[in-house]
């Protein structure tokens, strides 16, 4: 459902994890993320090293540049889907060691899809979040732990109030190491519950960043976000499944 320019109280009631009439995506294709390694968009931008001056020798500039390059190359990327991508950014953003989160679309067949295409259910994509993190500060296993406690692992082709294949939950490992860790985490979750696990686990395919108005929605539109999250029953259902572990 799209947001309309209505009186404030009514506009809150119209909120859903969807598009806004006041925003449009440009025709320029956003870069996809290759499944085998971070692209430039996977890492945070690091300010260029200061230019050498009389009191800063040239070799100091080179050293700073090398350190920045090393820092960027040390970062890793994880991709998860847990229903509305608005709601999957906050639990990762609060983790020490997470550099950035990006809402987007993955595991589909159309190049550079728009929200309208994905929400129509014909592209095969699911709403997902790309997490860029520093493995020296937060592990992939920790990200998996947080992921599971923010999804309903039993729901098939839906999450909470949002229904459709574009809201299916999933883990998309980008290499053999991530796959091994993801499979181990899914076995642990399956052993904990009697219900079958519906969360898919498939190799990462290109990730396409969503339209800008979707990014950091919970900080840009906090009241609408909180209303949507509450009315969708997300936290209530997470507590039913995970108890005190819900969300974390």
All structural domains of the chain: 59-245 (3.30.1060.10)
Q: How confident is the model at residue 135 (pLDDT cuts 50, 70, 90)?
A: very high
Provide the CA 135 distance to its chain's centre, in angstroms: 17
Question: Which residues are tagged catalytic?
Answer: 84
pLDDT at residue 189 above 70? yes
pLDDT at residue 49 above 60? no
Can you tell me the mean pLDDT for 94-109? Answer: 98
How far is 209 from 87, CA to CA, in rounded Å?
A: 16
> 41: burial class by Cβ within 10 Å (0-12, 13-18, 19+)?
middle
Say if CB 84 and CB 167 are below 8 A apart.
Answer: yes
- For residue 117, give both structure tokens: 């295409």
Give the model's pLDDT for residue 205.
Answer: 97
How far is 79 from 67, CA to CA, in rounded Å?
A: 26
Q: How confident is the model at residue 91 (pLDDT cuts 50, 70, 90)?
A: very high
pTM (predicted TM-score): 0.77
Give the model's pLDDT for residue 126.
Answer: 98
Can you tell me the mean pLDDT for 103-122? Answer: 96
- For residue 112, give both structure tokens: 């550079």
Give the model's pLDDT for residue 130.
Answer: 98
Q: What 3 state SS string does the chain have? A: CCECCCCHHHHHHCCCCCCECCCCCCCCCCCEECCCCCCHHHCCCCCCCCCCECCECHHHHHHHHHHHHHHHHCCEEEEEEECCHHHHHHHHHCCCCEEEEEEEEECCCCCCCCHHHHHCCCCCCEEEEEEEECCCCCCHHHHHHHHHCCCCCCCCCEECCEECHHHCEEECCCCHHHHHHHHHHHHHHHHHCCCCCCCEECCCCCEEECCHHHCCHHHHCHHHHHHHHHHCCHHHHHHHHHHHHCCC
Give the model's pLDDT for residue 15.
Answer: 59
Give the model's pLDDT for residue 37.
Answer: 45
Q: How confident is the model at residue 67 (pLDDT cuts 50, 70, 90)?
A: low
- For residue 178, give both structure tokens: 């991530």
- For residue 229, give both structure tokens: 């999250």
Q: What is the pLDDT of residues 204-231, one digit of tens each?
A: 999 999 999 999 999 999 999 999 999 9
Planar angle of CA 205, 211, 216, nearest 5 degrees: 95
Can you tell me the mean pLDDT for 165-173? Answer: 98
pLDDT, mean over the chain? 82
Q: How confident is the model at residue 17 (pLDDT cuts 50, 70, 90)?
A: confident
Say if CB 227 and CB 130 are below 8 A apart.
Answer: no
Give the model's pLDDT for residue 165.
Answer: 97
């Amino acid at each position: 459902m799209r947001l309309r320019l209505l009186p404030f109280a009514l506009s809150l009631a119209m909120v859903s994890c969807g598009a806004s009439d006041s925003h449009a995506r440009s025709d320029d294709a956003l870069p996809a993320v290759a499944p085998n390694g971070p692209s430039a968009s996977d890492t945070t931008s690091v300010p260029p090293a200061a230019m050498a001056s009389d009191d800063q020798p040239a070799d100091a500039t080179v050293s700073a540049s090398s350190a920045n390059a090393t820092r960027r190359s040390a970062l890793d990327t994880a991709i998860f889907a847990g229903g509305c991508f608005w709601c999957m950014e906050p639990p990762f953003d609060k983790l020490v060691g997470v550099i950035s989160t990006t809402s987007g679309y993955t595991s589909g067949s159309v190049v550079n899809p728009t929200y309208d295409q994905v929400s129509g259910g014909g592209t095969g994509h699911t709403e997902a979040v790309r997490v860029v993190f520093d493995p020296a500060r937060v592990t992939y296993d920790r990200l998996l732990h947080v992921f599971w406690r923010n999804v309903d692992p039993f729901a098939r082709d839906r999450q909470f109030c949002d229904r459709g294949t574009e809201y299916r939950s999933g883990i998309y490992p980008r290499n053999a190491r991530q796959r091994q860790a993801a499979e181990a985490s899914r076995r642990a979750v399956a052993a904990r519950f009697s219900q079958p696990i519906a969360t898919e686990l498939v190799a990462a395919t290109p990730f396409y960043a969503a339209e800008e108005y979707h990014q950091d929605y919970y900080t840009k539109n906090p009241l609408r976000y909180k209303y949507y999250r509450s009315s969708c029953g997300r936290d209530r259902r997470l507590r039913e499944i995970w108890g005190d572990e819900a969300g974390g």
